[in-house]
Structures are given as structure tokens and as C-alpha cells.
């Protein structure tokens, strides 16, 4: 099981702030591919070439990062603070 | 190095919040502070207000990691990073980065490093309410990426 959170413009476009997935993809890249496979807006938001950043357990993560049981994955657009 | 990091949804009194970085520390020889303010215009459009969102939990960790890195690179006595979330209006402070050191050079460099890294690594997002009644998410700027990249990888 993993927890997935969506922030800012991603959350608005997807119409969802968070969800729990019972199936655990092996990596961030595999999770992203599973989201693209939902089709519709999910395919648009997470398509290759779209700049989506990922964090695993609240730290910036690469596409290759391995996911473990109970991990929290956050997806968001490039940040605009400061 | 004494560190205070805070994310707050209430007004930020940037000038008053700068003093604690050096008060009671006679070894401090210089303080450099950066105050980021909301502007009333962006991409040529009048902006009435802005809403700042963040990733609670990750934000504090990300800011702490940035300040830690600054502390490894320079000899600092104190650092305060305070950032607004919620609704803000033009002229409101968005962020305060205040750095105290024995000498000015380290304080100047560390302050610029912290704000440059914050702008590309801390999970905050701005949504603008424009004068025509619309709302839009602010796009990240390539110039911010270049500024952060100029400091090299930690």
C-alpha cells in the first residue's frame, strides 16, 4: 500500500488531492506509468515530457527511486515559492 | 548556528523578525536579510491577491536541509527562514531570509544561496487572482533554476 498526494495545479487538474493505492509499483517511474495508463486527464498530466516533480516520504525523488510498503509519494509542478 | 524555520498563515513582520537573528549575540559582525514581497503586476497583468500553498511536512524538511547546507558551506551564527502561506496582497512580505555571521562576506553569500535554493527546492506554489477576476497558477521561471544551479550540487 502506498499513499499518493497531488498538489497545486496537478490537484486542480486531476480533481483529487490524495488517494491510497493497494498495489505498490516498484519505482516512482512505474507509479507514474500506472497513472498515465488511467487515460484521460491522468494521461495528459503525467505524460512523458510533462514537468512533474516527485517526493518520496517528503524528500525530492528521482524517477528511479524504489518504493517501499507504506511510502508517501507526492506529485507536484515545479515550485514557485519565495 | 542557531536556526529558526517557520511557515505561517498570518502576516509576517519581516523587519521585527530580523532582529532575533543577532540580538544577544555579540560575536555577530554582520546580518544580511532578504525580504521577498508580493508585486501587484505579473506578466503584464494586474494582480489583486495571491494564495500560497505548500506541502506540510515536506516544506519544513526541505527548508531545514537548505539551511543545513548553508551551514556546511559558510561559518554562520544564526539563520532565520520565515515563509508565508495562505492569502496575501501586494506589498505583503512572502519570505524573510536573515543570516548572521562574524563577517559580511559569509552572510551575503549564505543569504543569496538560501533564497536561490528555496525558490527551486522548497514545495510552495503561488496562485494569482488577477484584476479581471480570474485565477492562475504561477509558472516556475528558468532564471530561478539557473540561479540555483550556479551554486553547484550539495
Q: What is the pLDDT of residues B49-70, one digit of tens each?
A: 999 999 999 999 999 999 999 9
Query: What distance in Å separates the CA atoms of residue B121 and residue B116, rounded to the nearest whole number?
Result: 9
- Tell me the β-bridge partners of A42: none
pLDDT reading at B153 higher than 90: no
Name the closest residue on chain B to residue A6, using Cα atoms.
B55
Cα–Cα nearest to A74, from B21, B60, B55: B55
User: Can you give the pLDDT at residue A49?
Assistant: 87
Q: Residue range A47-55: average pLDDT? A: 93
Q: Which of residues 88-117 of B touch A (CB under 8 A)?
A: 94-95, 115
CB atoms within 10 A of CB A48: 7
Percent of chain A with pLDDT strictly greater than 90: 96
H/E run at residue A32: helix A28-36
Query: What distance in Å separates the CA atoms of residue B148 and residue B146, rounded to the nearest whole number?
Result: 5
Query: What distance in Å separates the CA atoms of residue B154 and residue B150, rounded to the nearest whole number?
Result: 11
Could you tell me if B79 and B114 are in contact, meaning their C-beta atoms sit under 8 angstroms apart? Answer: yes
- Between A49 and B119, name the one with better pLDDT: B119
User: Can you give the pLDDT at residue A4?
Assistant: 98
Q: CB–CB of B118 and A8 under 8 A?
A: no
- Banded model confidence at residue B44, pLDDT cuts 50, 70, 90: confident
| Average pLDDT value over all residues in chain A | 97
Number of Cβ pairs closer than 8 Å across A and B? 74
Spell out which chain A residues touch chain B, with contact meaning CB-CB distance below 8 angstroms.
5, 7-9, 12, 51, 55, 58-60, 74, 76-82
Any chain A CB within 8 A of the CB of B140? Answer: yes
Q: Spell out the residues 6+ positions from residue B122 whose beta carbon is closer than 8 angstroms to its own.
A: A79, A81, A82, B54, B59, B62, B63, B66, B83
Q: At which residue does the C-alpha cell 518504493 appear?
A: A67
Percent of chain B with pLDDT strictly greater than 90: 94
Any chain A CB within 8 A of the CB of B136? Answer: no
Query: What distance in Å separates the CA atoms of residue A64 and residue A60, rounded to the nearest whole number?
Result: 12
- pLDDT (tens digit per residue) in B128-148: 999 889 999 999 999 999 999
- Banded model confidence at residue B105, pLDDT cuts 50, 70, 90: very high
CATH hierarchy code of domain A2-76:
3.10.20.30
Amino acid at each position: 500500500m502506498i499513499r499518493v498526494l497531488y498538489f497545486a495545479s496537478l490537484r486542480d487538474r486531476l480533481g483529487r488531492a490524495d488517494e491510497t493505492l493497494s498495489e505498490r509499483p516498484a519505482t516512482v517511474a512505474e507509479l507514474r506509468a500506472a497513472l498515465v495508463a488511467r487515460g484521460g486527464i491522468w494521461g495528459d498530466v503525467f505524460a512523458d515530457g510533462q514537468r512533474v516533480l516527485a517526493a518520496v516520504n517528503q524528500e525530492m525523488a528521482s524517477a528511479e527511486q524504489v518504493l517501499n510498503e507504506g511510502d508517501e509519494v507526492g506529485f507536484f509542478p515545479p515550485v514557485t515559492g519565495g | 548556528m542557531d536556526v529558526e524555520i517557520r511557515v505561517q498563515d498570518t502576516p509576517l513582520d519581516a523587519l521585527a523578525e530580523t532582529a532575533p537573528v543577532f540580538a544577544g549575540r555579540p560575536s555577530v559582525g554582520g546580518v544580511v536579510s532578504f525580504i521577498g514581497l508580493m508585486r501587484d503586476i505579473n506578466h503584464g497583468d494586474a494582480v489583486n491577491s495571491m494564495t500560497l500553498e505548500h506541502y506540510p511536512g515536506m516544506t519544513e524538511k526541505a527548508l531545514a536541509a537548505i539551511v543545513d547546507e548553508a551551514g556546511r558551506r559558510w561559518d554562520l551564527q544564526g539563520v532565520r527562514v520565515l515563509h508565508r502561506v495562505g492569502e496575501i496582497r501586494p506589498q505583503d512580505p512572502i519570505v524573510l531570509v536573515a543570516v548572521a555571521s562574524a563577517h559580511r562576506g559569509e552572510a551575503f553569500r549564505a543569504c543569496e544561496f538560501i533564497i536561490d535554493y528555496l525558490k527551486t527546492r522548497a514545495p510552495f506554489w503561488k496562485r494569482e487572482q488577477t484584476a479581471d477576476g480570474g485565477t492562475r497558477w504561477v509558472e516556475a521561471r528558468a532564471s530561478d533554476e539557473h540561479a540555483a544551479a550556479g551554486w553547484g550540487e550539495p
